Amino acid sequence: METNQYTFRSLFQEIKEIEIPIIQRDYAQGRENDKVNRVRERFLDAIFDALNNKKPLTLDFVYGEVENGKLVPLDGQQRLTTLFLLHWFVAKKENIEENDYEYLNHFSYFTRPSSRDFCKKLVKHTPAFNMTISEELKDQSWFQYQWHNDPTIKGMLVMIDAINQKYGNSSNLWGQLANITFYFLPISDMGLTDELYIKMNSRGKPLTEFEHFKAEFEGMIKEYDEEMSKEFKEFNRKFDLDWTDMLFPYRGKNEIIDDEFMRYFFFVSDILCYQQNIPSEKDPFKLARMLYGKDNPSAKDNLSFLESSFDCWCGFDIDRFFNSIFANGTYESGKVKIYQENLNIFKQCCDDYGDDKGRNRKFPLSLTLLLYAVVVYLQNRQNVHENNFKHRIRIVRNLIWNSRDEIRADGQRNNMPQLLAETKEIILKGTIPTGTGYNKRQKEEEQAKIDWLLTNLDKQDALFHLEDHSLLYGCIAVVGLDNFANFDKFRELFNNDRDLVSRALLAKGDYSQVVGWRWQLGTENDSTWEDLLHPSNQRTEFESQTKATLNALLSSLTKVDESNLQQIIDNFLNDENTQKDWRYYFVKYNDTMLSDTFGYYYTYTDGDYHTLRMHTKERLSGRNWNVFILALYYQMNEEYDLGDYANQGDCLMLSDSLALDCENDKYILYEDINDEWEVKQEFPIPQQDGIDTKDRVKWMKNKLKKLGY
């Protein structure tokens, strides 16, 4: 028998019967899960289109062994079973003469006797079509109870109901069934031994979603007009060869590239959705139809972008490419630091895109923009010199890492169309956009750097080295282009103990920043310094306090090391002209006053000396300690107890009934009288013009000793 095109009916003119062999898995197209539901719906839609619109539909090849007129299919079982059920449904629905569908009696399953018996009973039964067919069948006297557990029968019942739902209101379909064809080829004609082919098909594994997707995508392209179909005819070959070869080094544990391909497909498709302001779609089949189907007026451009986005990675060493442009741990001249171990963000996309880690994306929007910038370059390598690209990707990196509030893709705050457009402009033209995408302040800084380098090209490496500092993430506003002499000093400064850095800065001036109703200093925690070293609309005193104090410190240092920082601190504390304002106390009693977590403080309205060290970022409820009470507590060698915390943290418990509080200009001793705290005594602190003239911590310590506490 040669390879010929058959209908389900005409095949029985060549053979006597079809028997699904025992090695085949159960009927899977009737399973009930999301993936199979989508496959079943698409398959029935294609059949419906062929029947109602009288369009030919070819279901590819069916392979099998024919012996004594019996066909034992080894590939095509699912399609043949669906065609059997479809022919049965239409024959019964349209009251076709029994001799016209007699061939259905010669289709059976050898997998289980129950499946075989069900097929025989089904052909003889004519539904009433006035209720759910599966329920009607299960209500028949011949439907055996144990059949409820037969997966093939369960699958057939699901498919019958799906066919009824799809075609129940259609008519005159019997003659149109000839539009559905397939090719049949005996395995003997393929040159394969039975043993080999059986091994190939005995695993019982369903097609992967990628395999279904690829087949449908190829069929979708064939639906275009002839000219467009020719233009994209290479998709089929590239799926199987070029793109598979490109992705193969990044294959998963199962040694296939299906998941990796689909994740990158989603990345590219989401880019198009962002650019065209249309909601994305998690179902890859619906997404493909929406973006690349013939009904989309931009389908041709979208397909071209998709093709180019895969093609651009072919033909070169991708790992080596990323290693040549990105760095992770330390600064490398000619490279751009991206603050993560994995430099190959293309592989990271193939591994993680679309997956979540808790409430966050495993492949965040920041990396989506960075990878898009790389794709734009690779698609235009003939027009963008590599050296220009390295500088431009640095600009994009700086903008991404300093536009956290601007990078959004949620509902009405979707800023991705503007961000993608600005990214493309930077990579292709090297100009800084003026739109509303990336952070306006950072774009101004990037333009200033471009202008500065026109006359300071010899200082480029020093600038880039500063940009790559682990606390700056590309934003150098806290140092400023006008302080080039401090570039290297800044990097050296934060190689020292952070507590020492904070004290030295306070010795030079007030570098704190107000954040809403509280204020902040740096701690051992990098995140506090990252906040302080970056300008923000939510923070005040960045220019006047933080930047000015930082540069004053750096300019005063000829050598940036712990010895010189300690000398600045000692000079400040020992200078008789140093005022005993709040900075004096924070420098001197740093071990208790300087926070070791978030660096947030709250100051009451009565003055700078009435300050709480906050335990959290946002709330005053919790372990918030009065900084002067805390310092006094440790100066008294922890002889007394502190209050429980919160507002009670203002107090030093001298006994169960005596508590000492510290306010802006005085200490207050409270006594518990009948469960009511009443003022027992006040101790005004020596001050002049609102500034302490005595070290209030030492002063109160001595007073407590004299009073016998």
3-state secondary structure 83-108: HHHHHHHHHHHCCCCHHHCHHHHHEE
Confidence at residue 23, expressed as pLDDT on a 0 to 100 scale? 57
Q: What are phi and psi of 354, to 5 degrees?
A: 90, -10
pLDDT at position 498 over 90: yes
Q: Is the dihedral of CA 534, 535, 538, 543 positive or negative?
A: positive
Cα(177)–Cα(166) distance, rounded to whole angstroms?
Answer: 15
Beta partners for residue 692, in sequence order: 580, 687
Q: What percent of the chain has pLDDT over 90?
A: 62
Helix H or strand E segment including 361: strand 360-361
Q: Which of 559, 332, 597 is nearest to 468 (CA)?
A: 332
Helix, strand, or coil (residue 202): coil
pLDDT bin (cut points 50, 70, 90) of residue 697 is: very high
Confidence at residue 645, expressed as pLDDT on a 0 to 100 scale? 47
Confidence at residue 196, expressed as pLDDT on a 0 to 100 scale? 40
Confidence at residue 205, expressed as pLDDT on a 0 to 100 scale? 44
Give one DSSP letter per residue of 30-78, joined into a string: T--SHHHHHHHHHHHHHHHHHHHTT--EEEEEEEEEEETTEEEEEE-HH
Q: Identify the residue whose tokens are 């509030």.
A: 405
Confidence at residue 195, expressed as pLDDT on a 0 to 100 scale? 45
Cα(512)–Cα(515) distance, rounded to whole angstroms?
Answer: 10
Confidence at residue 644, expressed as pLDDT on a 0 to 100 scale? 60
Confidence at residue 21, expressed as pLDDT on a 0 to 100 scale? 78
Residue-wise pLDDT tens digits, 136-175: 999 999 999 888 888 889 889 999 999 998 887 888 899 9
More confident residue, 646 or 536: 536
Cα(11)–Cα(7) distance, rounded to whole angstroms?
Answer: 6
Q: pTM for this structure?
A: 0.75
Confidence at residue 167, expressed as pLDDT on a 0 to 100 scale? 83
Confidence at residue 199, expressed as pLDDT on a 0 to 100 scale? 39
Ranking 231-245, 353-367, 427-441, 503-517 by mean pLDDT, the lowest is 231-245
Residue-wise pLDDT tens digits, 641-662: 886 644 445 688 898 899 999 9
Extract the runs of DSSP E, i.e. beta strands, from 252-349: 326-327, 336-337
More confident residue, 313 or 25: 313
The token pair that represents 169 in the structure block: 């209101």
Q: Identify the residue whose tokens are 């306010």.
A: 663
> Average of pLDDT values for 661-686?
93
Cα(197)–Cα(195) distance, rounded to whole angstroms?
Answer: 6
pLDDT bin (cut points 50, 70, 90) of residue 547 is: very high
Cα(388)–Cα(380) distance, rounded to whole angstroms?
Answer: 12
pLDDT at position 198 over 80: no
Cα(292)–Cα(295) distance, rounded to whole angstroms?
Answer: 8
Q: What percent of the chain has pLDDT over 70?
A: 93
Give one DSSP letter per residue of 591-614, joined into a string: HHHS-SSS-EEEE-TT-TTSEEE-
Cβ neighbors of 73 (< 8 A, separation 6 or more) are: 18, 20, 21, 24, 62, 63, 64, 80
Give one DSSP letter per residue of 496-521, joined into a string: S-HHHHHHHHHHH----EEETTEEE-
Cβ neighbors of 550 (< 8 A, separation 6 or more) are: 478, 479, 490, 505, 511
**Mean pLDDT over the full length of the chain:** 89
Residue-wise pLDDT tens digits, 61-118: 787 888 888 888 877 788 899 999 999 999 999 999 999 999 999 998 876 688 889 9
Confidence at residue 208, expressed as pLDDT on a 0 to 100 scale? 62
pLDDT bin (cut points 50, 70, 90) of residue 201 is: very low
Q: Is the dihedral of CA 243, 249, 255, 258 positive or negative?
A: negative
More confident residue, 26 or 248: 248
Cα(166)–Cα(62) distance, rounded to whole angstroms?
Answer: 25
pLDDT bin (cut points 50, 70, 90) of residue 189 is: low
Confidence at residue 78, expressed as pLDDT on a 0 to 100 scale? 82
Residue 564 to residues 393, 568, 575, Cα–Cα distance (Å): 38, 6, 16
Residue type, 540: T
pLDDT at position 212 over 90: no
Residue-wise pLDDT tens digits, 249-267: 998 877 788 899 999 999 9
- Number of other CB atoms surrounding residue 303 within 10 Å: 21
Q: Are β-strands 513-515 and 57-67 bridged in parallel, bridged antiparallel, or unpaired?
A: unpaired
CB 272 within 8 A of CB 281: no
Cα(108)–Cα(84) distance, rounded to whole angstroms?
Answer: 10
CB 551 within 8 A of CB 486: yes
pLDDT at position 682 over 50: yes
Helix H or strand E segment including 629: helix 627-635
pLDDT at position 1 over 60: no
Confidence at residue 57, expressed as pLDDT on a 0 to 100 scale? 84
Residue 645 to residues 484, 519, 602, 669, Cα–Cα distance (Å): 46, 20, 14, 17
pLDDT at position 596 over 90: no
